[in-house]
Amino acid sequence: MERPEPPILPSVLSGDTADIYFLRTRQVMERAGLNPRASMEFFPARDGLLCGMREVVALLKQVLPRDAEVWGLEEGETMSRKETVLRITAPYQSYGIYETALAGFLAQESGWATAARECVNAAEGVPIISFGARHVHPNVAAAMDYAAVVGGCLSCSSLEGARLASVAAAGTMPHSLIICFGDTVAAALAFDEHLPADVPRTVLVDTFHDEAEESLRVAEAMRERLQGVRLDTPGERGGVTSDLVKEVRARLDLAGFPRVQIFVSGGVTPERIVKMRQEGAPIDGYGVGSYITSSPPIDFTADIHEIEGCPVAKRGRIPGITLNPRLKRLL
């Protein structure tokens, strides 16, 4: 399924989110009658997975003239430190005030996507779902979830993030549902009764009682309708351990429920994933939140390398277009 074009906020188009010196630069150049055709290149400060290019292109489509050229790597490609990943050639005033936004799209989303890929690589085929929407401002939650899917997550928890990534939103149930019902089985049966059939019947089993006990209670109540259980044991109880997962798996199998899957969330990191895999924990999926959302942005630098076809550069940089055979014509 083709992903929808990401929306560009009016405040971005107006330049209200730009560094003010770009707005002052535009004012000066307009009054001086200066608007050269300039080639600007963007490169990252470290290796990673490139993300944010679809927003870059969506913005540039709206502001560049028809004779502009945009070359770049595509969404989800790996990138190396200081590699040119984007080149814009157009009259400078058509895109100059958007340098802040363009670098920001790439920096934040590449950081999220790179962190997601680290989790996916650590899991070696076990599905990862992005559970990080609660850790970021709602204005960027969709972009974060989208970037996580670009990084390899099977899905994400927010509807808008799933729409941008063209996947179905995924999630189980919160502790609040179970606490409001006062019993895990009662909440699970209501969940099963009132939600559409295409919603996976995965039940949270750590709210009131021992996880293995709750898993068996829910499995016996729902039988074949139960698809999975989620372990989200808090740190106050030691968190989810490999031994706990093994016990839940063993008790479900002994009770005749080998098809019930085990999903783990809560403080999941690549290191924890690797450790659980090495310890043989039979996990069918992970929910990852803060590891992705708290990942540092990958800083991007933008430099002008050509003015009206003539090579230029600031001190310390090499004048002229930086050759990169990996770049493709995007606009």
Q: Where are the domains of the chain?
A: 10-110+297-329, 111-293
Say how far apart CA 81 and CA 44 lie, in whole Å.
Answer: 5
Give the rounded percent of residues in the chain with a pLDDT score beyond 70.
100
Say how far apart CA 245 and CA 251 lie, in whole Å.
Answer: 10
Amino acid sitting at position 82: K
Q: What local confidence, expressed as pLDDT, does residue 1 receive?
A: 65
68-88 pLDDT, tens digit each: 999 999 999 999 999 999 999
175-223 pLDDT, tens digit each: 999 999 999 999 999 999 999 999 999 999 999 999 999 999 999 999 9
**Mean pLDDT, residues 216-234 taken together:** 96
Q: What local confidence, expressed as pLDDT, does residue 94 receive?
A: 97
Does residue 293 carry a pLDDT above 80?
yes
Say how far apart CA 89 and CA 138 lie, in whole Å.
Answer: 34
**Mean pLDDT, residues 2-30 taken together:** 95
Q: What local confidence, expressed as pLDDT, does residue 46 receive?
A: 97
Fold of 10-110+297-329: nicotinate phosphoribosyltransferase (3.20.140)
Q: What local confidence, expressed as pLDDT, does residue 3 receive?
A: 84
What ranges make up the beta strands (E) of the chain?
A: 37-44, 48-49, 69-72, 78-79, 86-91, 128-130, 155-156, 202-204, 228-231, 261-265, 285-288, 300-307, 310-311, 328-329
Does residue 56 carry a pLDDT above 80?
yes
Strands lying side by side in the sheet with 228-231: 155-156, 128-130, 285-288, 261-265, 228-231, 202-204
Q: What local confidence, expressed as pLDDT, does residue 271 receive?
A: 97
At residue 307, the 3 state secondary structure works out as strand
Does residue 237 carry a pLDDT above 90?
no
**Can you state the angle between helices 211-222 and 184-194, rounded to 10 degrees?**
40
pLDDT band at 268 (very low <50, low <70, confident <90, very high): very high
**Mean pLDDT, residues 7-20 taken together:** 96
Residue-wise DSSP of 229-284:
EEE---GGGT---HHHHHHHHHHHHHTT-TT-EEEEESS--HHHHHHHHHTT----
Q: Picking from 54-58, 99-103, 238-242, 269-273, which range would have the lowest pLDDT averaged per residue?
A: 238-242
Q: What local confidence, expressed as pLDDT, does residue 234 receive?
A: 87
The domain made up of 111-293 is a member of CATH 3.20.20.70: yes
Residue-wise DSSP of 144-169:
HHHHHHHTT-SEES-HHHHHHHTS--
84-117 pLDDT, tens digit each: 999 999 999 999 999 999 999 999 999 999 999 9
Are 10-110+297-329 and 111-293 the same fold in CATH?
no
145-185 pLDDT, tens digit each: 999 999 999 999 999 999 999 999 999 999 999 999 999 99
Q: What local confidence, expressed as pLDDT, does residue 161 receive?
A: 97
β-strands 128-130, 285-288: how paired?
parallel
Tokens matching residue 83: 């590699």
- What pTM was computed for the model? 0.94
Does residue 33 carry a pLDDT above 70?
yes
